[in-house]
Chain A
Amino acid sequence: MVAEVAVIGSGPGGAVTAMLCAEAGKSVLLVEEGQNLPLHWPEHFSRDEILHKYRNAGVNVALGSTQIAYVEGCCVGGGSEVNRGLYYRTPSYVLDAWRKDFDVRYLSSDELMPHFTECEAIARVEYLPCEASAISKRLYEGAMNLGWHAIEAPRLYSYGGRGGSKQSMSETFVPRFLKAGGRLIADTAVRRLSRQEGKWRLDAIHTPTHGPSQTVEISADKVFVACGAVQTPALLRRSGLRKNIGNSLRFHPMLKVVAEFDYEVNDPGDFDPVHQIKEFEPHFGMGCSISKQPMLALTMAGRPDCLAYVEHRWRRMGIYYVQTTGGCATIRNLPFFRDPLVRVRHSEWDLHHYAEGLKRLSEALLAAGAIAIYPAAPEYPVLRSMADLRKLPENLPNGSGNLTSVHVFSSCPMGENEVLCATDSFGRVREADGLYIADASLLCGPTIVNPQGTVMAVAHRNATHAIENRFA
């Protein structure tokens, strides 16, 4: 297969990039490892969705003395298909730090604003048009009772029509890409990149759901790698590109709790929760998770003695989380294995903030009227009062196995600081002509807020820059 531009990965970074290149008149091939499935099938947050739309069925672990279990999407639309779509523009203090520490040029809030606006015109961002769910409001009320700053977050969601519709990539940028003449090939994993006679050659394997695998060769003048913050560095390292690649993967690690109230708060018909506590950012933030019965059971899995409560009292229960910025990981390929090894380490500062965040979250939930709080970390006791909180440890015990993350980024940071950065300020891989990175790998560090808006805006900025400069 031949194209002027090949984009590997159709998540928020890849879909935005592919659409812009196609609309600029380029011949574009969008290559996606996962399947091309409808947004509403399988059911959101179901067992089948995990099997069909999550990479490795959601079983990904950053190994270390304190592990982090993380998830990534693996289907057309990538993570945007499986997340809740909570949306933020990047806080200006985050961009300021990236400019200062990584020497990223032209990345102020003002310079990024047109790209946010353009993306938001295609993928709609809306606030709930009605009252939020009781689970969501409890967190907000807890924060208000303590005098803490809390907000309702908007979502990439169009609430019009029956039940509304999530503004995932498969509903927004991918259809526009196809309308502009772009070609999409799903079920196709790129294994290696190489440079031959002035063009990039992509060695891939096409594995349709029904039918045998076959090898595919793709030739392209320019290549954008957007496979996600773990797979992008893995692919680049397999292809012999290693400078500052895969050395600095970051997370938004979460600790979850189940809060029980003495009245019903959990109605399966409710919209997804949207309230978040901002009082302690940038150190940690807090929010509500999807609290379906299977999710509640999973969060309580480390407490078999309390698991039966889920069956009988789940309508009185909700899942809440504290999200921090700890942990830094490396990504390395292993001989004879396809999947890369991710190893994470945490500082004392990280462990302290996990513990402090858990305490503060519990404080907010008690202030909201919770009668019992069950931390997912089984080494923590069930919490019923402020006196219980005062007995909690100062640091998260090393080896606690309950950190999870739905955000991974920063494995190939952008910027002019050549000691730290894998690409220039616009995502061009150094010493690799015509090769770009276009996903969350480029972010220089945690965004503190949900990162999808940042990934889309940075991809839009970088692709626009490449097109305007004729990929020079």
Chain B
Amino acid sequence: MVSVVGFLFATQARMPDHLRFAFRILTLVFDAWPYATTGKPFHRLDLPRRIDQVERWKRSRLAFRQGLIAFYRSFVIFGLYSELSKQDADRGMRAKQD
């Protein structure tokens, strides 16, 4: 059983190597993006500013920005709902046993 973050890392580690290379660079660019305006990388921003940056990249006209967000969004959503769905199934199983 892997966590959502673990699933994301595992997916990234297995993706085609040329795409993985591009995504790693893009992810670093994404993290460094707010540095010029806030003095902090993305992972040190507070939640509202993080959401704001994700929204800006999602709506960007640049395809690579949209693509990066779409990739992470899709796999986080799939990973998260897999976990929720499994928890539901486990709860259902326990209720039946009780």
Q: Which A positions have Cβ atoms within 8 angstroms of B?
A: 46-48, 50-51, 56-61, 268, 292-294, 296-298, 301-302, 304, 307, 310-311, 334, 337-339, 341, 399, 401
Contacts and interface: CB of A to CB of B under 8 A. Distances in A.
Contacts of A57: 10-11, 14-15
A56 B23 CA distance: 14
Contacts of A59: 11, 14-16, 19, 71
Contacts of B84: 293, 311
Contacts of A292: 85
B24 interface: no
A322 to B, nearest CB: 20
Interface centre among B7, B67, B80, B81 (most CB of A within 10 A): B81
A293 B83 CA distance: 10
Contacts of B7: 47, 51
B82 A46 contact: yes
A307 B84 CA distance: 14
Interface string B6-42: 0100110011111101000000000000000000000
Residue from the set A59, A337, A341 with the largest chain B CB neighbour count within 10 Å = A59
A301 B73 contact: yes
Given A47-B82, A298-B78, A339 B14 contact: no
B5 interface: no
A337 B82 contact: no
22 contacts: A46-B82, A47-B78, A47-B82, A48-B1, A48-B2, A51-B11, A51-B14, A56-B16, A59-B11, A59-B15, A59-B19, A60-B16, A293-B81, A293-B88, A294-B82, A296-B81, A297-B80, A297-B81, A301-B70, A301-B73, A337-B17, A338-B17
A46 B79 CA distance: 9
Contact of A51 (B10, B66, B70): B10
Q: Is the interface of B mostly helix, strand, loop or mixed?
A: helix
B57 to A, nearest CB: 14
Contacts of B82: 46-47, 294
Chain B CB count within 10 A is highest, among A57, A302, A311, A399, for A57
A5 to B, nearest CB: 30
A359 B89 CA distance: 35
A258 B1 CA distance: 28
Contacts of B89: 268
Contacts of B70: 301-302, 401
Contact of A298 (B10, B18, B66, B74): B74
B85 A339 contact: no
A311 B85 CA distance: 9
A406 to B, nearest CB: 16
Nearest to A296: B81
A47 B73 contact: no
A339 B18 CA distance: 7
Interface string B41-70: 000000000000000000000010011001
Given A47-B7, A298-B78, A56 B18 contact: no
A294 B81 contact: yes
A50 to B, nearest CB: 8
Contact of A339 (B17, B74, B81): B17
